[in-house]
Amino acid sequence: MNTTDFYRNLAEAVKSGKIPYVIESGEGAYLTINGKKKLNFCSSHYLGLAVDDRLKEAVKEAVDKYGIGTGYRTLAGTHTLHVQLEEALARFKGAEAAIVLTGGYMANCAAIATIIGKEDIVISDELNHASIIDAIRLSQVKNKFIYKHLDMGELEERLKEAVELQKTPKENGEEPVILIVTDGVFSMDGDLAPLPQIVELAKKYGVLTMVDDAHGEGVLGKGGRGIVDHFNLHGQVDIEMGTLSKAFSVMGGFITGKATLINFYKQKARQFLFSNALTIADTAAVLEGVKILEESDELVKKLWDNTNYLREEFKKLGFDTGHSQTPITPVMLPDENLARQFSAKLFELDVFATPIVFPMVPKGKDRVRVIPSAAHDKKDLDLGIAAFAKVGRELKVIS
Q: Side by side, which strands form the sheet with 178-183?
A: 97-101, 253-257, 239-243, 208-212, 178-183, 121-125, 143-147
Q: What does the alpha-carbon distance between residue 95 and residue 148 come to, in Å, rounded to a whole number?
A: 30
From the candidates 124, 187, 324, 343, which is the catalytic residue? 187
H or E element in which residue 311 lies: helix 298-317
- Based on the residue annotation, tell me whether 246 is a catalytic residue of this protein: yes
From the candidates 215, 302, 365, 376, which is the catalytic residue? 215
Is the CB of residue 280 less than 8 Å from the CB of residue 67? yes
Closest CA to 44 of 379, 397, 361, 356: 356
Q: Is 182 exposed, middle or buried (0-12, 13-18, 19+ CB in 10 A)?
A: buried
H or E element in which residue 179 lies: strand 178-183
Q: What does the alpha-carbon distance between residue 366 and residue 369 come to, in Å, rounded to a whole number?
A: 9
Instruction: For the beta carbon of residue 273, count every other beta carbon within 10 angstroms.
Output: 16
From the candidates 230, 246, 365, 376, which is the catalytic residue? 246
H or E element in which residue 374 lies: none
Active site residues: 187, 215, 246
